[in-house]
C-alpha cells in the first residue's frame, strides 16, 4: 500500500480533488520539469539534434514499462482521437462486418468508427450495459466471425465498470478481429500487460491517470501493423533523420518499429519532460500498488454511498480507481458547481457521480464529499 502522497502535489488543504478521471493535478516534480523545459526553450542554442531523439525515446521507454512492452512498439501521439485515427487507417474493414463498441463509450473512440462504418458499409455494434454489470459476457456474445474490430476501454469512463480484456483479447484472436483499446481511464491506475491482452492498438492520453500534461499521449502498435501507413509523413520518422545535414536526401524508408507513426513534433520539448517525470514516479510507486491503494479508497467510497442508499457497480465488475455513484435519477445540473463551492471536485456523467481518487486523497476528502452530498441531495 502506498502511503498518502499529498505532499508531492500542490493541493490546498481545503480542496477535495476527487476528479483524476477529468484531469490529474501535476506533481510538484513534474511542474518543476516543465519550468526547466520552458527555460531551456529560452536558450535554444543549447538544443542539439540529440535532444530531438532523446526526448522522444525517453518517453517511449518509460511508457513501454507501464504496459510491459518493448519500447520500439510505442508511438508518441497528441490525443486519443489521433491514435484511433491511426488504427482506423490501418485495420481493414469490409462491407457487412461489425465494429464493436460499448454503450455511451467516450466519443474519441466512437466517432472515427462511425465514419469508418459509413465509408465501408460496415455496421457499428453497440453493446449495452447489462443489468447484472457483467459487460464482458455481453461483449463475448457479440464478438464473432463477422467482427472486424472491437474498439473498447479497460473500464467505462462514466462509472468504472470493468471489461476483462484478457478474455476479450482471446475472443478477438479466435474470430480474427482486431482489438483497439482506449486506455485513457485505466493506464497508470490498473496493471496492463501487453503479452496477456495482446491489443492491436493501445491508445492513451497522458493527462489523466498517467499524471502528465495535456496534448501528449502514447500509442502501442502490435508488430503486425508496424509496416502500416502513418497519418503524417513527418521528417523525423524517416530513416537517417538523425543527420540533420542530409534531411533532403529524401528516403522512402522509415525509422524502425512504431516510430513511423509518431506525430509531427513528437519531440515536444515542453511537454515531454513533464510526461517523463510523471511516468518515472508512477513506475517508482508501481502500478499494482497504485491499483491496490486506490481500491481501498473506492471501497470506502462505495460503503459510504451504500449507507446513503446510493448504488455502485458490484465489486467484481468495478475498477479499482474510478467509481460511479448511481443516483435514482439524474442529479441537478448545478450539482458539480455546488460541490465545487464546498471545495469538492467530482464529475457528473449521465446519472452517475464519477468519483476518481488518487494517492493524494485522504479519508477527509471522501468525508467532505459525502457530507456535501447528504446536504445537497436531501
Ligand atoms: C475514455 C477517454 N478517452 C479519451 C479521452 C480524450 O480523448 P482525446 O484525447 O481525443 O481528447 C477521454 C477524456 O478526455 C476519455 O475519458
Regarding the beta carbon of 183 and ligand 1, being less than 6 Å apart is answered no
pLDDT of residue 77: 98
Q: Which of 260, 238, 262 is nearest to 248 (CA)?
A: 238
Rounded distance from Cα 184 to ligand 1 centre (Å): 6
CB 91 within 8 A of CB 232: no
User: What is the three-class DSSP state of 348?
Assistant: strand
Strand (E) or helix (H) holding 144? none
Domain boundaries, the chain: 6-21+286-376, 34-284
Measured from the CA of 205, which atom of ligand 1 is nearest?
9
Question: What confidence tens digit (pLDDT) does each residue in 38-49 have?
Answer: 999 999 999 988
Q: 322, 160 in Cβ contact below 8 A?
A: yes
CA–CA gap between residue 65 and residue 283 (Å, rounded): 8
185 lines ligand 1 (CB under 6 A): yes
Query: In which residue are the cell numbers 492520453 written?
Result: 205
Per-residue model confidence as pLDDT tens digits over 147-169: 999 999 999 999 999 999 999 99
Supply the pLDDT for residue 51. 87
Dump pLDDT digits (tens) for 231-286. Answer: 999 999 999 999 999 999 999 999 999 999 999 999 999 999 999 999 999 999 99
What's the average model confidence in pLDDT over 207-215?
98
For the domain made up of 34-284, the CATH class stated in words is alpha beta
- Give Dmax over CA atoms of the chain in angstroms: 71
Mind listing the pLDDT tens digit for each residue in 40-91? 999 999 998 888 888 889 999 999 999 999 999 999 999 999 999 999 999 9
- Contact in structure between 253 and 119 (CB atoms under 8 Å): no
What does the pLDDT average to over 108-113?
Answer: 98
Regarding the beta carbon of 80 and ligand 1, being less than 6 Å apart is answered yes
Question: Cell numbers at residue 91, please?
Answer: 485495420
d(CA 196, CA 173): 12
Q: Which of 157, 186, 350 to mutate to test the pocket of ligand 1 (most atoms within 8 A of CB)?
A: 157
Share of the chain above pLDDT 90, in %: 92
The torsion region of residue 240 among left (phi > 0), alpha (psi -120 to 50) and beta comes to: left
Mean pLDDT for the chain overall:
96
User: 6-21+286-376 sits in which CATH class?
Assistant: alpha beta
- How many angstroms separate the CA atoms of 228 and 356, rounded? 37
d(CA 292, CA 2): 9
pLDDT band at 10 (very low <50, low <70, confident <90, very high): very high
Find, among 27, 17, 37, the residue nearest to 211 by Cα: 27
Residue length of the chain: 378
Ligand 1 lined by 97 (C-beta under 6 Å): no
Q: Which atom of ligand 1 is nearest to the CA of 182?
A: 3
Amino acid at each position: 500500500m502506498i502511503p498518502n502522497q499529498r505532499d508531492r502535489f500542490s493541493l490546498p488543504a481545503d480542496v477535495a480533488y476527487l476528479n483524476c478521471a477529468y484531469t490529474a493535478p501535476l506533481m510538484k516534480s513534474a511542474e518543476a520539469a516543465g519550468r526547466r523545459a520552458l527555460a531551456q526553450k529560452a536558450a535554444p542554442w543549447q538544443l542539439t539534434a540529440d535532444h530531438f531523439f532523446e526526448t522522444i525515446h525517453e518517453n517511449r521507454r518509460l511508457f513501454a514499462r507501464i504496459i510491459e512492452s518493448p519500447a520500439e512498439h510505442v508511438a508518441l501521439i497528441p490525443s486519443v482521437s489521433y491514435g484511433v485515427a491511426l488504427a482506423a487507417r490501418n485495420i481493414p474493414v469490409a462491407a457487412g462486418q461489425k465494429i464493436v463498441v460499448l454503450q455511451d463509450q467516450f466519443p474519441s473512440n466512437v466517432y472515427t468508427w462511425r465514419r469508418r462504418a459509413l465509408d465501408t458499409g460496415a455496421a457499428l455494434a453497440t453493446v449495452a450495459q447489462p443489468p447484472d454489470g457483467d459487460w464482458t459476457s455481453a461483449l463475448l456474445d457479440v464478438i464473432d466471425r463477422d467482427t472486424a474490430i472491437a474498439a473498447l476501454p479497460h473500464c467505462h469512463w462514466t462509472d468504472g465498470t470493468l471489461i476483462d480484456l484478457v478474455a476479450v483479447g482471446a475472443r478477438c484472436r479466435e474470430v480474427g478481429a482486431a482489438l483497439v483499446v482506449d486506455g485513457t481511464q485505466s493506464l497508470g491506475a490498473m496493471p496492463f500487460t501487453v503479452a496477456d491482452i495482446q491489443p492491436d492498438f493501445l491508445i492513451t492520453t497522458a493527462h489523466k491517470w498517467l499524471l502528465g500534461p495535456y496534448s501528449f499521449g502514447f500509442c502501442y502498435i502490435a508488430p503486425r501493423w508496424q509496416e502500416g501507413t502513418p497519418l503524417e509523413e513527418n521528417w523525423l520518422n524517416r530513416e537517417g533523420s538523425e543527420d540533420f545535414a542530409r534531411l533532403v536526401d529524401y528516403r522512402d524508408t522509415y525509422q524502425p518499429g512504431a516510430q513511423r507513426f509518431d506525430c509531427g513534433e513528437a519531440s515536444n520539448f515542453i511537454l515531454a519532460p513533464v510526461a517523463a517525470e510523471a511516468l518515472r514516479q508512477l513506475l517508482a510507486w508501481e502500478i499494482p500498488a497504485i491499483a491496490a491503494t486506490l481500491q481501498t479508497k473506492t471501497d470506502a467510497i462505495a460503503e459510504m454511498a451504500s449507507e446513503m442508499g446510493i448504488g455502485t457497480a458490484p465489486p467484481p465488475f468495478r475498477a479499482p480507481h474510478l467509481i460511479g455513484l448511481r443516483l435514482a435519477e439524474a442529479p441537478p445540473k448545478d450539482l458539480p458547481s455546488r460541490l465545487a463551492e464546498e471545495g469538492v471536485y467530482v464529475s457528473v456523467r449521465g446519472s452517475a457521480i464519477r468519483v476518481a481518487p488518487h494517492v493524494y486523497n485522504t479519508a477527509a476528502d471522501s468525508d467532505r464529499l459525502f457530507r456535501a452530498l447528504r446536504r445537497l441531495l436531501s
